[in-house]
Structure 1
Amino acid sequence: MIRCVIEKVKETARLGIESSAFDGRVLLGLDRLGLNPVSQRHVASGSRAGVWLIGCEPADGTARYCRDCGAMGRVRSSWRRRFAHTPVGQHAVHLMVRVRRYECAACACSWTDDLTRIADEGRRLTDAAVWWAAAEVVLKSKSVLACARDLHCSWGALNRAVLEKGMDVLAADPRRLDGVESIGVDEHVWRHTRTGGRYVTVIVDLTPRRTGRPARLLDMVEGRSEKAFAQWLEERPRSFRDQVKEIAMDAFAGYKKAAARQVPHAVEILDPFHIVKLAGDKLTAVRCRLQREATGRRGTRTDPLYKGRRILLKTAGLRTDRQQARVDLLLADPANQPLALAHGAYQKIIACYAQEDRRKGRGMMAELIESLAVKGATPGCPELATLGRTLKRRMS
């Protein structure tokens, strides 16, 4: 995607053009848009640099000839259209293009100047401005709002233009899938409303993480089902599916089934966040069960188990002495023996991922999973036994 953006920016900016005499028309790229500048005016904009308003007229001399009979038409009326163009330094540039309507006396037809070289139909930004904004967003991690301020246009107009160009050109570029060997998949709450689907499946490229670079978004698919992920994989070319070696996911069985069906050779990885989250959920489930068994109700702010709900989930090395004393007091109670087992497993899982030696960490994790998967290894704690079976199944 980055290569495609750079190519488009070079194409619109005419980088590498041969040296010639200074020409403001070439500098602003008006020759590529088929425009002749006729006036200029600078408008101040408070604390910002301001806007250059460049008056332009279409340079096509054949536009006034009738497209049906070829006779020369006359100008019936004209109006100005305003287009945001690529900025010059800190100054925004807006093109004030005079658009003429012609009419033919011979065949009684009318037409207007063709502006397709300037911008797509209905758009208020030139193609060069759209690709400039796309490059700022992709290459410099700039927000669309900041780009809109530089261009002196609305956020909505720029956001729609960048998204349309991205979907038409960038998303359709097959090169964006080159070199993808490790992908991650997870669900995301996309819509916070009562109606309509709330979730989407997010697929990211994790391959750059090997060299310390950030992961990049590949696609977002509506829904969070096995069918959604399987269909996305099926729509990708066979060469892409063959090069995928690893798939990181959560404990959702649907994604696992889709990956096993479409890319059976890929290694399925349960990522650290979801493993720790799964162990934390089991620890919380044990605490809630013990609370109900002891009091017959849910916990309140006066119950020791309820007051320790957050401290129990905190990494042991990050607790204060006072917090550690409260945890030790809870776990020392014989009635809380299942809680002590779940808490110990939870902290061991965190310790496995905290190991600097990855080989040692993998060995510790494998040993822990094997011990939890043994029948009867967690007396009085069925939640921990379930965790062991889940991790054992995913490890195999």
Structure 2
Amino acid sequence: MAEPTSLLLGLEGLEVTAVTRGTDRSRVVDVVTADRRAAHCPQCKVASSSVKGHAVTRPRDIRYGDDPIMLRWTKTRYYCVNPACERRSFTESIPQIPPRRRTTTRLRTQIGRDVGEAARSVSEVAASVGVSWPTAHAAFIEHASKVLSTPKPVRVLGIDETRRGKPRWTRDVDGRRWVRVDPWDTGFVDLSGDQGLLGQVEGRTSKAVTDWLTTQSKQFRTEITHVVIDPSAAYAAAVTTELLANATLVVDHFHLIKLANDAVTGVRRRVTFDAHGRRGRKQDPEWANRRRLLTARERLSDRSFAKMWNALIDNDPTSEILTAYIAKEELRALLACAREDADDSEVRRRLYRFYTWCAEANIPELTRLAATIETWWPAILAFVHTGLTNARTEGYNRLVKQVKRVACGFRNTENSRRRIRFHCTRAQRANNQQFHC
């Protein structure tokens, strides 16, 4: 049985021979190899007792308390006694400290966890453990490779975009004029399983989506039954290609309600400018009730709703603001069919009420809203029947932005996507929670 100091160190295969304290309160731990397998040639696995010499290395290990600990490992070099082996000599090594490594395996594992699971920057973690940035980053790559793999087939695929950085201006190909470059990334999320973020590609075009789908296996594309997107024509064009012949397009209802809220805001601003020749101010009832106009009716108390309604009735002779508000609530009632499990006849009745109200109102903002709903109606009806949303995708977008803020931006897209996907992998987060419990 190992002596207590070796057990406290916890590096299997090493035995502590002495511990000394330096002037800077650092502790130097002298260790020797205690694993018999270290005397076996790593190539031919033949044990050797022919000593060539000794070497002293100082591998970095995890910290113990506030004062640093320095390992000083005295290793033995052996001649390989197997004449058939191409390797002439070798140096002792253990699983925790492989050959030519200056850090222990458990330190690299800790670095990988701190960078990936805690979403800390590489430079911060490297400084805290006393290693260089390349060493810390290589440790994270090693840790991430155990979690990240090729995406497995999914039933429901979510697609959404996130901004990769600030807009910038660059010269065009000919160098004659400046062109605005708005960097975006498109993410693909498993909405039906636990794989989380499946991948990212640069851009938010149809080609970006089709290129990513092409790189996946035929089985992956065939097993997709639904694809949930925002009302994006580029994404819709990519989803409706032959690559996803078995998939049904679904539009996220959150963005449809946002379009309705934008229509209400547009009507409110236009009516205010037509009446006063300026933007809304604190004394204007339509400006004072701007938040109530965007709040769902069931979330407003009767007193708050009556206050808004009466104020707009008395101060808006056109009644366009309340007309737009009612149109927004009619659209919400239509989309609520998914939650209420309404039958097709009820869906058609609510759709007719929404169209009729927008048509009779004859307000440009509501006309555009009704035209948008008509354009996307097949995908909206798919949402009503399935209730699928892109809420999980939006949640991952928040995690993506968190990783970008911690890193203060990425210059290498491969490193960026690895960090983001690792942090947005549900299996990784589940293992992390289990580890900390």
Q: Which residue of 2 aligns with 1:5?
A: none
Matched, 1:187 2:167: no
Once residues 236 and 229 of structure 1 are traced to their aligned partners in structure 2, the CA distance between those partners, rounded to angstroms, is 11
Q: How does 1:382-393 map to 2 (within 5 A)?
A: 382-393=364-375
Q: CA RMSD in A?
A: 4.9
Per-residue CA deviations over 1:273-309 (Å, capped at 9, x if unaligned) read 1121121111111111212222222222222222221
- Give yes or no for contact 1:184–1:203 (8 Å, CA) kept in 2: yes
Cα distance in 1 for partners of 2:250, 2:99 equals 44
Structure 1 vs Structure 2: percent identity of aligned residues?
Answer: 23
After superposition, give the CA deviation of every residue in 1:358-390 in whole Å (9 maximum; x if it has no partner).
322876555444444569714331211212221
2:292 corresponds to 1:314: no
Q: Which residue of 2 aligns with 1:245?
A: 225
Q: 1:341 aligns with which of 323, 339, 344?
A: 323
What letter is aligned with 2:162? H
Give 3-state SS (helix, strand or coil) of 1:207's partner: coil
Q: Which amino acid aligns with 1:143?
A: A
1:143 maps onto 2:118 in alignment: yes
Is the contact made by 2:334 and 2:351 (CA closer than 8 Å) also made in structure 1?
A: no
Would you say the 8 A contact 1:39–1:55 is kept in 2?
yes
Is 1:227 the equivalent of 2:204? no
In structure 2, relative to structure 1, the CA distance for the partners of 1:95 and 1:268 (3 Å cut) is: farther
How far 1:82 moved relative to its partner? Answer: 1.0
> Residue by residue, what CA displacement relative to the aligned partner does 1:217-271 show, whole Å, maximum 9, x if unpaired?
2223333232222221121111011111111111111111111123133111111
1:341 aligned partner, one-letter code = T
SS class of match (1:177): coil
Distance 1:167 1:344, change over 3 A: same
1:301-354 deviation per Cα after TM superposition (whole angstroms, max 9, x unaligned): 222222221110011122234431332124425634332222112123334455
Q: Corresponding residue for 1:6?
A: none
Relative to structure 2, which stretch is displaced further, 191-200 or 249-258? 191-200
Q: In the alignment, what sits opposite 1:205?
A: 190
Q: 1:98 maps to what in 2?
A: 73
Show CA shifts across 1:141-185 (max 9, x none). Answer: x6356xx99xx848989984575136534333x4x424x101211
Unpaired runs of at least 5, structure 1: 1-20, 44-50, 65-70, 209-213
| Larger CA deviation: 157-166 vs 297-306 | 157-166
Q: Which amino acid aligns with 1:96?
A: L
Q: Which residue of 1 aligns with 2:145?
A: 168
Q: 1:363 to 1:157 in 2, by over 3 A?
A: farther
Determine the C-alpha separation between the residues in 2 that align with 1:160 and 1:252.
37
TM-score normalised to structure 2 length: 0.60
Corresponding position: 1:177 with 2:152: yes
Give the counterpart letter for 1:126 in structure 2: T
Which structure exhibits the higher relative contact order, with contacts defined as CA atoms closer than 8 Å and separated by 6 or more residues?
Answer: 2
| Map 1:29-68 → 2, pairs under 5 A | 35-39=13-17, 55=31, 57=33, 60-61=38-39
The two structures have a TM-score, normalised by structure 1, of: 0.65
- Per the TM alignment, residue 190 of structure 1 is displaced from its structure 2 partner at its CA by 4.0
Secondary structure at the aligned position of 2:359 is classed as coil
Larger mean CA deviation between 125-134 and 300-309 belongs to 125-134
Letter in 2 for 1:345: A
Question: Partner amino acid for 1:255?
Answer: Y
Alignment partner for residue 282 of structure 2, among 293, 301, 304?
301
| Greater fraction strand | 1
Q: Does 1:282 align with 2:259?
A: no
Cα pair 1:81 1:99 within 8 Å, conserved = no
Q: Which residue does the alignment assign to 2:406?
A: none
Deviations 1:15-71 (A, max 9, x none): xxxxxx89998999856xxx433358799xxxxxxx99794549533689xxxxxx9
Give the total of aligned pairs. 336
